[in-house]
Amino acid sequence: MNAARCAQAAWRSCLAVAFLSVQLGACAPLRFAPYEAKAAGAYPNHVVKGDLQVAAQPLVDEQEQRKYFGVVLTDVGVLPVFIVAENRSTTRRFLLRDDSITLQSIGSARAFPKAVQDTIASDPGGKAKHDAALATTGAAVVAGPIFLALPAVLMAVGFAKNSEGAALIQDNLFDKTLFTRTVLPGRTVSGFAYFMVSDTKLVQGRDMPGSLGDLLLRAQVADQETAAIHDFEFRM
């Protein structure tokens, strides 16, 4: 009798644990490690101009990409570059515009597009699509009207275009993006820019056209008082 009761209690406990596990598993969102910025001077690829110090660091390590993005972006030709801008002035403010951060091939001078787009702005019928998409409670959109133009990339690494996992990855990439920011006195801003460099896996050699060493990143930072533009260049 006691053995039967024990077995019943054990079974109930198992059921409870299984139920809780399923609930917690369903509730716990997929999490990605935050990418902690170091001081700009700590990156090998940094440039100082007056009160400004800017660094650019491509993230090509596969394990690190899985840790921070959940996917290996370079496998499908997307290069994530981490950018840090540090304002050492006590009074001056600088504007770092995301559209002034560009990547181009040194050999061919070809400029590579960013992997960010707005479905509303980029689609002539975007407004209707926006409303219609939103009305379907998310089933027809990946992660809202603004998203990183990476559905094909995510599909290539095994995520269905409209899957929950793809949407979480898109959200995380969006949250880690460096958008236009004012660099206030004594402050630092940082984040990733994602460039669509190739249709295939990124080559990490130094001298071949289309390889990492052939890429040049440019960033323009504007002094908000004088409107003077400071150019920064980084060989990847």
Q: Are the beta carbons of 35 and 176 closer than 8 angstroms?
A: yes
Tokens standing for residue 154:
């995510």
Decide whether 108 or 182 has the Cβ nearer to another protein: 182
Round to whole Å and give the CA distance between 48 and 216: 17
Beta strand 46-49 pairing with 229-235: unpaired
Q: What is the dihedral of CA 91, 96, 97, 99, to 10 degrees?
A: 160
Identify the residue among 61, 99, 225, 231 touching another protein (CB under 8 A).
99
Determine the Cα–Cα distance for residues 166 and 157; give it in Å rounded to an integer: 10
Q: Coil, helix or strand for 199?
A: coil
Element (H, E) at 152: helix 151-156
With respect to another protein, which residue has the nearer C-beta, 1 or 139? 139
Closer to another protein by Cβ: residue 99 or 231:
99
Least CB distance to another protein at residue 211 (A): 28
DSSP 177: B
Among the listed residues 45, 104, 126, 198, the single contact to another protein using CB under 8 A: 126
Looking at residue 3, its amino acid is A
Q: Which residues contact 199 (CB under 8 A, 6 or more apart)?
A: 77
Residues 153-172 that bind another protein (CB under 8 A): 162, 164, 167-168, 171
24 lies in the site for another protein, by CB under 8 A: yes
Site string for another protein, 195-224 (x = CB under 8 A): -----------------------------x
Per rule CB under 8 A, is residue 116 in the interface with another protein?
Answer: yes
Which of the stretches 48-56, 128-136, 196-204, 208-216 binds another protein when contact is defined by CB under 8 A?
Answer: 128-136
Q: Are the C-beta atoms of 217 and 119 separated by less than 8 Å?
A: no
23 binds another protein (CB under 8 A): yes
Is residue 60 close enough to count as binding another protein by CB under 8 A?
Answer: no
Residue ranges binding another protein (CB under 8 A):
23-24, 26-27, 29, 93, 95, 97-99, 116-118, 120-121, 126-127, 130-131, 134-135, 137-139, 141-146, 162, 164, 167-168, 171, 179-182, 184, 224
